[in-house]
Amino acid sequence: MKCSWLVPIVFFVFCIIFVIFGAITYALYFEAVALNSGTNSHLVFGDLFFRGLIVSMPYAIIIACLFMVFYLIKTGFSYFLAYLLYFLISLASWSVFLPFVYNIQKQTQNLFPVPKLERELSSGYFRNIDDGLYYYAENSVLFIDEQEDKNNSVYVNENDIVDPLIKPSLRISAFTKHMYNSFYKFYNLIKELITESLSSYFLVILLGFVFSLLIGFQFFTSWKLLNVFLVCFFFLTIIFFNVHIVFSDLLNPFQEYLIRKNFVFSQSKNFLPFVINGFLGLIFIVLGMIGLIRKKRRNSGNAYENF
């Protein structure tokens, strides 16, 4: 039972780790993007790091809640106090910690502004840009026509914020980019809901409760690694489902149909997200109960001994 008190400690330790990791990643990203061949970065790492601390806080809180589930899966705790502390911390994270962090971001946005990236490429380098090879001289840019062996002084549109010589090293896969975009959209979605209205705020709490129900997969199978995979899968499913379906334009025709039929509460734009996420929560509750039944059967040795 005493081990149950480790749950809040583990949560805050994970928060600190992920905030620091996020800040370092944020600072290194902008340092890399700002690199200009043959020159030193004009950005100050310390400023980037402190802004990264603030930016990464919401992500750290959400990921720390997820890692609490991993911790409980690893330890196999099944104490009532451990579950109680887990749910209290999860709900506090979505109802108190996230709004508090978003308020900190709002208050400090002028103190640590988004870094400005200078876009004057250094001279003395050949660069492959889209349609051909360019040489950056001291006061001009030459286009190297390799087919006709001609050099023409040209104007190059420098809207891209990354030096073409460095850009290939920063390229990420389409899957990783899609994952990041989905997380970023979800981050902005939660931020908007928290500051929008009271009903939207309660919707955020409901989302937090749905995420917390992932603890139901703690004993779903006897293989801890498989349970971790299931938690990760459904964690991403909740995010993608809400970003790309529930809060997208896909449900607008159904919302309009409910309004025409004068359905109760259909005028509220949060009605369908409430219903859908509530139903999703019920599914996780049922799956969690199934997991507990399977655990009892495994312990009694009647069935599912290996699964």
Q: Which pairing describes strands 150-154 and 132-136: parallel, antiparallel, or unpaired?
A: unpaired
d(CA 202, CA 110): 29
Other Cβ atoms less than 10 A from the Cβ of 196: the count is 14
d(CA 64, CA 200): 23
List the chain residues with pLDDT less than 50.
149-159, 303-307
d(CA 193, CA 202): 9
What's the pLDDT score for residue 196? 85
Alpha helix locations (H) across the chain?
6-33, 45-75, 80-92, 98-108, 167-170, 174-196, 198-212, 224-241, 252-260, 271-300
Give the C-alpha distances (Å, rounded to integers) separating 73 from 135, 217, 226, 291: 57, 8, 10, 12
What's the pLDDT score for residue 239? 93
What's the pLDDT score for residue 62? 94
What's the pLDDT score for residue 215? 92
Mutual angle of helices 198-212 and 271-300, in 10-degree steps: 20
Structure tokens, 263: 């359905």
Q: Which pairing describes strands 132-136 and 141-145: parallel, antiparallel, or unpaired?
A: antiparallel
d(CA 153, CA 136): 10
Structure tokens, 261: 């039929």
Q: Which pairing describes strands 150-154 and 141-145: parallel, antiparallel, or unpaired?
A: antiparallel
What's the pLDDT score for residue 64? 95
d(CA 100, CA 212): 20
CB 42 within 8 A of CB 118: yes
Question: What is the value of pTM for the model shown?
Answer: 0.79
Tens of pLDDT, residues 183-213:
889 989 998 998 888 888 999 999 999 999 9
